Amino acid sequence: MWAAAPLLLLLLLLLLLPLARLFQRGAARLEPAGRAVLITGCDSGFGHLLALRLHRLGFTVFAGCLCPGGDGARRLQREAGGAGRLRVLRLDVTRARDVRAAKELVLSHLPERGFWGLVNNAGISTFGETGWLPMETYEKFADVNLLGSIRTTLAFLPLLRKYKGRIVFMSSIIAYFTLGNGVYSMTKAAIEKFCDALRLEMKKFGVQVCIIQPGNYARSTKIQPPLSAEEIWSELSEEEKAVYNKEYVQERANFFNSILSEGSTNGSEVVDAMVDALTSPAPKARYMVAKLKEKVLVFVCALFPTVVMDSVLSYALSK
């Protein structure tokens, strides 16, 4: 009897947690006025859309752009109506001095309610089988997608602890499986584990950490443009060209480009989740924003033996 007590307690908690969250979510939402949020990767895509949405809601927005003089940054300033509560700043998350400068700017322009949120949105993606990519590509992806988010988070942790704010990370359902973009999947799986550690550690400070897991929204962002087989072939080493032929590379490129073409164009769905993570009285630890078939794939990957998932993905690749 006593041996079953921990299991019964766990089942009881699983039943009560949804009810507790329901009561919490019924509480008043956050008042945005006088609160600052820094977003990385605002040149285009989700970061661009989120900066505009938060600005309309009343937040003071610091929009980090890789190219502050580029078309995306200029369009962002026009759409926000010029200066005021939205500031565009140069922020390359791979450069420590950019991150330091961003923190100094935020500190010198903090509104009355202080620093509320950090959104680690900046990221890059590419396609290619493991041996096709040079070591420099792996290093670049780790620096942007993983270390860039960590670098920015560590810089702003003191402010977030002080104001009991929120940290939002952009992950992906690709953290659970890969279909020809293993380098991107690798970085997203790593950032998920970083977030899991950070979320538990920040609870004692009242700081909440949330992960956004979009499905295929390639047509809503510029993170992954289509690739030509010729472009891929020209980048292969002589050793890889000796193993693969152009026809195989063409097949892989066609397969990956077909996935990109099926991506959702409704990026506002992902932005809705990001806004909820920043404003809800009871934000979720993870927001999966994906089609039903994508969620099923994640479910199979998480709960079934690896051999089952390998069979499913191998079948998809063979088609």
pLDDT at position 319 is: 63
User: Which residues, including other chains, have CB under 8 Å from residue 291's CB and lie 6 or more apart?
Assistant: 215, 216, 264
**Catalytic residue status for 184:** yes
Residue 64 pLDDT greater than 60, yes or no: yes
> Where are any strands of DSSP class E within the chain?
36-39, 60-65, 86-90, 115-120, 166-170, 208-214, 286-289
pTM (two decimals): 0.89
What are the boundaries of each domain within the chain? 29-224+265-318
pLDDT at position 139 is: 98
How many CB atoms neighbour CB 299 within 10 A? 11
State the amino acid at position 230 in one-letter form: E
Residue 22 pLDDT greater than 60, yes or no: no
Give the tens place of pLDDT for each residue, 150-208.
Answer: 999 999 999 999 999 999 999 999 999 988 889 999 999 999 999 999 999 999 999 99
pLDDT at position 5 is: 59
Lowest model confidence (mean pLDDT) among 39-48, 146-155, 226-235: 226-235
Q: CA triplet 113, 118, 123: central angle to 5 degrees?
A: 160
Strand partners of residue 288: 213
Give the tens place of pLDDT for each residue, 256-304.
Answer: 899 889 999 999 999 999 999 999 999 999 999 999 999 999 998 888 8
pLDDT at position 226 is: 85
Give the tens place of pLDDT for each residue, 251-266.
Answer: 999 988 998 899 999 9
Mean pLDDT over 201-222 rounds to 95
Which secondary structure element, helix H or strand E, spans residue 100, and what is its range?
Answer: helix 96-108
**Two tokens at 65?**
């752009």
Q: What does 174-229 look like in DSSP terms, one character per residue?
A: GGT--SS-HHHHHHHHHHHHHHHHHHHHHGGGT-EEEEEEE-S-GGGSSSS----H
For the domain made up of 29-224+265-318, give the CATH fold: Rossmann fold (3.40.50)
How confident is residue 308, by pLDDT bands cut at 50, 70 and 90? confident
pLDDT at position 155 is: 98
The active-site residue out of 163, 184, 217, 287 is: 184
